[in-house]
Amino acid sequence: MADKPLNCVIVGSGPAGYTAAIYAARANMAPVLYTGQEPGGQLMITTDVENYPGYPDGIMGPQMMEDFKKQAERFGTDVRYEMITATDLSGEVKVLTTESGQKIEAYTVIISTGASARWLGLESEQRLMNKGVSACAVCDGFFFRGQEVIIVGAGDTAAEEASYLAKLCPKVHMLVRRDEMRASKIMQKRVMETENIQIHWNTETVEVLGEEEVTGAKVRNRVTGEESEIAANGFFVAIGHTPNTGIFKGQLDMEDSGYLITKPDSTKTNIEGVFASGDAQDHVYRQAVTAAGTGCMAALDAERYLTAKELI
Ligand code: NDP
């Protein structure tokens, strides 16, 4: 165990974590960042990112995260390729346990563990990932403009993404597994009133079709058992996300769905010195740029906390 606790430990290495690291490092907080199991986060499974400001020609997701990391390291962030598997956040000195069993002490903790998209779990879905299969219409919809697409899901995200896709694509097939949608009434109404969205009720996906890229999907009607095929170039999955916050259960306030609750207009959690940023606390916007924004906020909040407590 280190003699003096660290000023700041950042857990997670997506846009939120690295942005927090850049700000914390430049504020002389000597941050240590634990990357977690998926260094770089969700952008590592994206191809082109075209909506992040500052990249007029777009950039590949993995390259972007490499750049974020380099920028964080340039100012002295200590990036460690390990998971944090347990935490005790109760005292002024927080204790984090790494997967190798090491105990790390810190005055502040910035949580940016992100969320993982849920998938249907089909082999064909995995095989055609980034070859037409996507979990983010806002990120990837543009690549399918002028083409037919399928979207699976019936919550607010699926409804919102179907509406978004309908502005780009001549036809959007929405696969809803029950005979009703979970989305809010207003979102349902919007979807139902959009001419080029066709809702397929009681419909589940049997297989995503295509060899090198998506050509459609084989679907089954859950009432009649009848199987059919829908031709499409894009296959979007919008069946929810799971925030990676399991290790904080019982310590940090979170919604039933696991999203961390922060105080209004800040990144403060219910525990002093613990801040939450990025998708671990945001189920509404979930964009790289909004995650980066809250990562910045978390570092500023952590710095103010350390200064107020005269810990740095
Ligand atoms: P939800 O959990 O609300 O919805 C998930 C949807 O996916 C459900 O309709 C569910 O079907 C369906 N689903 C789950 N598993 C499968 C499967 N294996 N096959 C087919 N369909 C499946 O997730 P969302 O991401 O939509 O929303 C998360 C939260 O964020 C919600 O609270 C939502 O209200 C909020 N949100 C708010 C927005 C806004 O206010 N603008 C925008 C986006 C999200 P079933 O209904 O049958 O269980």
Number of structural domains found in the chain:
2
Pairwise CA distance, residues 166 & 46, whole Å: 21
Residue 1 counted as domain residue: no
Residues 137 and 229 in one domain: yes
- The alpha carbon of 160 and the centre of ligand 1 are apart by a number of angstroms equal to 10
Residues 128 and 219 in one domain: yes
| pLDDT attached to residue 50 | 84
| pLDDT attached to residue 43 | 87
| pLDDT attached to residue 252 | 98
CA-closest residue to ligand 1 atom 18: 120
Q: 258 in ligand 1 pocket by Cβ < 6 Å?
A: no
Residues 169 and 215 in one domain: yes
Owning domain of residue 48: 6-116+241-308
Residues serving a catalytic function are 136, 139-140
Domain boundary among 237, 252, 279: 237
Give the side-chain half-sphere CA count within 13 A for 241: 23
Q: 190 in ligand 1 pocket by Cβ < 6 Å?
A: no
Residues 208 and 262 in one domain: no
- The alpha carbon of 39 and the centre of ligand 1 are apart by a number of angstroms equal to 26
Report mean pLDDT in 10-residue bins for the chain, 312 residues: 85 98 98 94 81 93 96 98 97 97 98 95 96 92 96 95 96 98 95 98 98 98 98 97 96 97 97 98 94 98 97 90
Residues 128 and 104 in one domain: no
Q: 205 in ligand 1 pocket by Cβ < 6 Å?
A: no
Residues 66 and 207 in one domain: no
Q: 160 in ligand 1 pocket by Cβ < 6 Å?
A: yes
Residues 272 and 232 in one domain: no
Pairwise CA distance, residues 245 & 276, whole Å: 10
Residue 203: CATH number of its domain: 3.50.50.60
C-alpha dist (Å) from residue 290 to 87, 119, 239, 304: 26, 23, 21, 21
C-alpha dist (Å) from residue 181 to 123, 154, 228, 257, 267: 26, 5, 22, 18, 33
| pLDDT attached to residue 138 | 86
